[in-house]
Homo-oligomer: A and B are copies of this chain.
Amino acid sequence: MVIMTRAGMPRARVDALRERIERRGLRTHVVYRDTRTVVACAGDASGADVDAWRADPDVESVASWSRPYRLVSRDAAGSSHTTPIRIGSAPDAVVGGAALVMIAGPCSVERLDLLRDAACGVRRGGATALRGGAFKPRTSPYAFQGMGVEGLELLAQVRRETGLPVVTEVMDTRHVDVVAEYADVLQVGARNMQNYALLAELGRIGRPVLLKRGLAAPISEFLLAAEHIMARGNADVILCERGIRTFETSTRFTLDIAAIPVLRRETHLPVIVDPSHAAGDAALVPALSFAAIAAGADGLMVEVHAQPELSKSDREQALTLTEFDALMRAATPIAAAIGRRMPAARPAQMMPAAHGAI
């Protein structure tokens, strides 16, 4: 059962409603919104219950559901719109708005100068946010595991210099607080999509979460992973399709392009696409990016490196700055063709605040 409150109800009154529900033996999961608050109830709500709550003066509408996910479902939003999620202060820094978001940057944070070059370059090309890994999940324990907190500090410094919000991965429940301190968006990697302890922890923070689809996750489990975060109270979940594991080996993973319209139908959460990890090959990134935009994605997350040949990880899949610029230009008419727009390129010089920070 999902209960939507009347518009503009004060928080105290929502809490009172919640208590009334819980006294009936149901567990509640509340997502406070500026306009209407949503209460998802777990337990066995009978048809009689549904009718009873519909009659409650504080309740706008009540929906029962047939799907295992609730808060993430389109029904729970009570609208055909995507829920916009703000990830930075710039006008276009909203995932799910008219402008697509472009999250770009190196696979891993390695050196301040390279990170700064990448950030300035992608900002100039029109990127909305900077990506970069400080904690890196690596299949081999002998590979570079990331710079850790030191990497977070470099990201923060480059954010001060460029104004770009920062998206970075968190892999350990014990790091959630420190990453949330530095990052604007916390990313959950594909291999941690069903790390439920981590999802629960991210449900308690006040920052957007970018959740990547697991390599073997059907859409329904992907949505349930998002539900794990929302059920703990964090409504700002951005979904990211990044390829699934199949028998095909000419690409690293198989980008499930149909996931975009399927997710659009099932959920009100915004959906972006990571063509770089799906392909594992920079040469394929433009075609996959164009496809994702045409299929209705709310944005892209692409790997861009100022000097790919110096990268310690995944260098084959990183675009150069020149290639990123070309991608942005080529994507512009495609976005327009489907009624969206690319984020605007910004002047090359740094912002005053950034200069002061150096």
Question: Which A residues are closer than 8 A to B by beta carbons?
Answer: 27, 29, 42, 68-70, 137-142, 145, 171-175, 191-198, 200, 214-216, 218-221, 224-225, 227-228, 231-232, 244-251, 254-262, 264-265, 278-279, 283-284, 287-288, 290-296, 330, 333-334, 336-338
Contact = CB atoms under 8 A, between A and B. Distances in A.
B231 A258 contact: no
Contacts of A257: 255, 257, 287-288, 291
A145 B142 CA distance: 34
A278 B290 contact: no
A224 B191 CA distance: 14
B291 A248 contact: no
A287 B260 CA distance: 8
Given A254-B246, A287-B295, A288-B257, A171 B142 contact: no
Contact of A194 (B175, B191, B218, B264): B191
A228 to B, nearest CB: 4
A228 B294 contact: no
Contacts of A292: 291
A197 B141 CA distance: 11
Given A216-B215, A227-B141, A337-B333, A261 B284 contact: yes
Contacts of A42: 142
Contact of A218 (B174, B250, B333, B338): B250
| Residue of A69, A215, A259 ringed by the most chain B CB atoms within 10 A | A215
Contact of A196 (B138, B248, B259, B295): B138
